[in-house]
Amino acid sequence: MNGQGYGQGHSQAHGRQAQYPPSPYGSPYHEEEESFELTPPQNYQNYRSHPNSSSTSFDFQFPDSAAAAASGASPSTRPIMPIRPGHSYNHNYSPPEYSSSWLQPTPRLSGGPDSFPNTPYDSRSASPTLYQNSQLQSAASLTNLVDSPATPGFAKEWVQTGSGSIARLDDRDDVDIWKGWKRFVFKFTPLLTFTNTALYLFYLGLRIYCIIMAQNAAGYSFAGAWIFVGIEVVTAIPSLMHNGWTMMALKKRGRAKLRLIGNECPTVDVFVTCCGEDDEVVLDTVRGALDQDYPMERFRVIVLDDGQSATLEDSCNQIAMTNSNLYYMAREKIPGKPHHFKAGNLNYGLDQVHTLPGGASQFMAALDADMIPEQQWLRAVLPHLLVDPRMALACPPQLFYNTPASDPLAQSLDFFVHVIEPIKDAMNVAWCTGSGYIVRREALEEIGNFPLGSLAEDVATSTLMLGKGWKTAYVHEPLQFGTVPEDYGGHLKQRTRWAIGTVDTAFKLKFCAWGDAVKKMTIAQRFSGFLYATLSLYTILLTASLFAIPIILLWGKQLVAYANQDQLHWLIWTCFASTIANRLCEFALFIPAGYHTGQRGSRYQLWMSPYIALCIVRAFILPKWLGGQTQAFKPTGSLGSELNERDANLRKNLFVRLRVVLFNFMAFFHFAFVYVTIIAVAISTYRCFYKESGFKGIVICLITHAFWPPLTFFFICTSLWTPVSYAIDPPTVPQREDLLDRDPKTGVAHPTKKSKKIAFGGQAAWFEFQYEIATIVTVLVFIYSFFF
């Protein structure tokens, strides 16, 4: 881990052993050392039991002994590696209570020859060899100790001004992500959202009133206008629900930026879950986890390999020769018996750590196979659990380093992690987002460990914890970086699995409305659980409404009805006001994630809806004999992973890419929709020129038929064209190694500064150009309305 030979690392560490608390895992070194007896606290329970696994009424499955037998999750016949000489199995070990034994102030040592000046403590990895021949760190960086409550639970007796084991670096954990004028403008988001919502509702109400008045005046029904309004209402409902949630940004989020200092730290089991990923991807995560700025004898890194890769096991054993806190585990999966995917793998690890020297740790952390943690990850996340004994889980955002320029498929989660999750955290309803989280073992025990009956075990876990009265925290710091799927099919499979898992969890928890599993949830937590499941279900209505757009355009009926010119003027003016208010609201709301990121997300909601809707219908509505299935979206062919579309040298030719995307991945719906809509607009335009005479008549006909601002059909068509444009001109992404900055001595790699950001590309500029066209047309129509 540190680029040193085994003997050198051992001798240096042994010379400084007295500086560290007794290791609960036994000695990390080879020779015999003095043993310590730790008295188990009275309130520490055996984590292998799950007393609440059968107490709830919903049908998640919990890993008791019977379930484990049924799942085929028996221990691997291969030995758990490494087992080192000098490790003694302490059957009586239990981690210490949260007492002053490890919460006392311990000065951070730095300044050694191996220190990294760019880390928060002028420090580096957890290796004991890095703390010798050093002096006390300057008090300047540690003077802001936790001395006033920024969130509930900070007012603890052991947290005192000027001393303590947790440093308060800033009042906001996201101080380094966005600040200055951006933060000032974002303060207006609730007001702008309220104004935008009010104007839009007034506009829809005026549309309905004008249709009724027009029907009364004309004596017949305006069916096209009613359908058009109906489409707008259907598509507006989820947006309005989300706007209501967004207005909760009025509640200030007060999570501070904290750091755990000193060497007397709680014990942590870090699980790296993998299943068939490339060995080098997994090993980079493992090396990053081992390179934590954390005392080595206070944490273990455990690779949970569901792919049972012999080469990965060999590589882990090689690394373990110089990193004594690394273990490799692989459960036996019996064919035909359910193994419950990632949740089963995590529960296997939770059981197996009891067989390791020292038993289970106080906390469990998890990393996805591709998520490389930053060195300060453990020290940054753990304090949020330590300041509040009811804090069950803390999770940082999932960020990525291989996102292509312009992010054409909206693969980054920037809008979710920089906008939505902080708002949810302010309402005490932060989700477990699947990687980088640290969880309290007591909370896991109370819910029976990870629930096995969901594709989204992370969301289900945090939801069940909230239902038991625990708290969850979102740590808004860039503490881990992973990879997005490198092909179109992988992206579809990932996102549809998330949607199905969220809806499935919502059904089992009765949409968080009632039941024993959610009885301790607050109103905000219940609304959040209801909202995000409902948004996924609404893709069905959204997709159905899309079909109606080309139909009503081909029908040739008037889309906007009015009884007189004054009503038309008011419709145009309110439409203009609503459109401009929406643009301003988007600008303010998207600021934390980036304006273009927010716009990509809006287009993503449209072009991805047919895929999500299809998977939800198959999973929850259709019987199996009509095509129903429980798994996420799967391509109908076998070429999904063979396109290599982002590799300039290996990508398939244009015709193969189009065939696979259009037919194997069913983007022919998007293709057909765009072309039928364009034909419908052309026919509607021809009718206006054919039937009307004079400039005014033609313009009003165009406006009230196909070109009503802000050109809804135009935005929908450009959004649904995304899969086709991706197949025609896929982005080129550098090789993964070129995106990493690797230490030649240790092999530890972290993403480069450039790769952590999404580059602005030509596609983003093109989409913005299209968006501006729609805005300009709206402004021109508004101006022209004063001249007729």
pLDDT tens digit string along 401-449? 999 999 999 999 999 999 889 989 998 999 998 899 999 999 999 999 9
pLDDT, position 201: 92
Q: Does the pLDDT at position 513 exceed 70? A: yes
For 713-745, the DSSP string reads HHHHHHHHTHHHHHHHSPPP---GGGGEEE-TT
What is the helix (H) or strand (E) element at residue 394, kind and residue range?
Answer: strand 391-395
Digit-coded pLDDT (tens) for 333-364: 888 888 888 999 999 999 999 999 999 999 99
Amino acid (1-letter code) at residue 773 = I
Q: Provide the pLDDT for residue 241.
A: 75
325-352: b (≥16 Cβ within 10 Å) or e: bbbbbbbebeeeebbbbbbbbbbbbbbb
Rounded Cα distance between 256 and 149, Å, is 9
Task: Give the model's confidence band at 78: pLDDT under 50 very low, under 70 low, under 90 confident, else very high.
Answer: very low
pLDDT at residue 641, as a whole number: 55
Topology of the domain comprising 6-82+104-147+255-484? Spore Coat Polysaccharide Biosynthesis Protein SpsA; Chain A (3.90.550)
User: What token pair was written down for 305?
Assistant: 């390999």
Chain-centroid distance, C-alpha 617:
24
pLDDT by residue (tens digit) across 681-703?
999 999 999 999 889 999 999 99
Determine what percent of the chain falls in helix, strand and coil, rounding each to the nearest 5: 50, 10, 45
Residue 630's pLDDT is what?
62
Distance of alpha carbon 722 from the chain centroid: 22
Burial class (CB within 10 angstroms; exposed 0-12, middle 13-18, buried 19+) of 575: buried
316 pLDDT band (50/70/90 cuts)?
A: very high
Question: Quick one: DSSP state of residue 364?
Answer: E
Average pLDDT over residues 725-747: 94
What's the pTM value of the predicted model, to 2 decimals?
0.78
**Residue-range domain boundaries for the chain:** 6-82+104-147+255-484, 188-250+530-734+748-787
pLDDT given at position 733: 94
Angle between helices 595-620 and 762-784 (to 10 degrees): 100
Cα(415)–Cα(595) distance, rounded to whole angstroms? Answer: 9
- pLDDT single digits (tens) 11-67: 333 333 333 344 444 433 333 333 323 233 333 233 333 333 333 334 555 444 334
- Please state, for a pLDDT cut of 90, what percent of the chain lies above it: 51
Is-contact 482 401, C-beta < 8 A?
A: yes
| Gap between the Cα atoms of 506 and 512, Å rounded | 7
631 confidence band (pLDDT: 50, 70, 90): low
Q: What's the chain's average pLDDT? A: 79
pLDDT digits 0-9 by tens, 145-162:
343 333 333 333 334 333
pLDDT of residue 252 exceeding 60, the answer is: yes
Would you say 4 and 125 are in contact if contact means Cβ atoms under 8 Å apart?
A: no
Specify the pLDDT at position 778.
Answer: 94
The Cα–Cα gap between 408 and 548 comes to 26
**Across the chain, which distance is largest between two alpha carbons, in Å?**
100
Measured between alpha carbons, how far is 468 from 462 in angstroms, rounded to an integer?
10
What are 213's two structure tokens?
Answer: 């008045």
Residue with tokens 């997300």: 601
| Minimum mean pLDDT range among 119-123, 165-169, 395-399 | 119-123
Residue range 738-751: mean pLDDT, rounded: 95
What type of residue sits at position 547? F
Choose between 92 and 378: higher pLDDT.
Answer: 378
Q: How far apart are CA 593 and CA 407, in angstroms?
A: 13
Contact between residue 426 and residue 435 where contact means Cβ atoms under 8 Å apart:
no
| Model confidence band, residue 515 (pLDDT cutoffs 50, 70, 90) | confident
Q: What is the mean pLDDT of residues 553-573?
A: 92
**Cα–Cα distance measured from residue 677 to residue 551, given in angstroms and rounded to the nearest whole number:** 8
Q: How many CA atoms lie within 13 A of 357 on its CB side?
A: 24
Give the position of tokens 């009805």. Answer: 561
Residue 576 · residue 200 · CB < 8 Å: no
Give the span between the Cα atoms of 153 and 166, in whole angstroms: 13
Q: Which residue in the block uniquely carries the two structure tokens 């024993």? A: 516
Q: How confident is the model at residue 77 (pLDDT cuts 50, 70, 90)?
A: very low
- Stretch 101-107: mean pLDDT: 32
Is the link from the previous residue into 113 a cis peptide, with omega within 30 of 0?
A: no
Interhelix angle for 762-784 vs 712-720, to 10°?
Answer: 170
Q: Over range 513-520, report the average pLDDT.
A: 87
| pLDDT given at position 250 | 64
Q: Mean pLDDT, to the nearest integer, of 382-398?
A: 95
Say how far apart CA 409 and CA 404 lie, in whole Å.
9
Q: End-to-end CA distance of the chain: give it in Å, rounded.
A: 76
Question: Higher confidence at residue 138 or residue 489?
Answer: 489
Both tokens of 298, joined, read: 């206070």
Identify the sign of the CA torsion 495, 496, 497, 501.
positive
Percent of the chain at pLDDT exceeding 70: 77
Beta-sheet pairing, 399-400 with 363-368: unpaired
- Per-residue model confidence (pLDDT) at position 102: 32
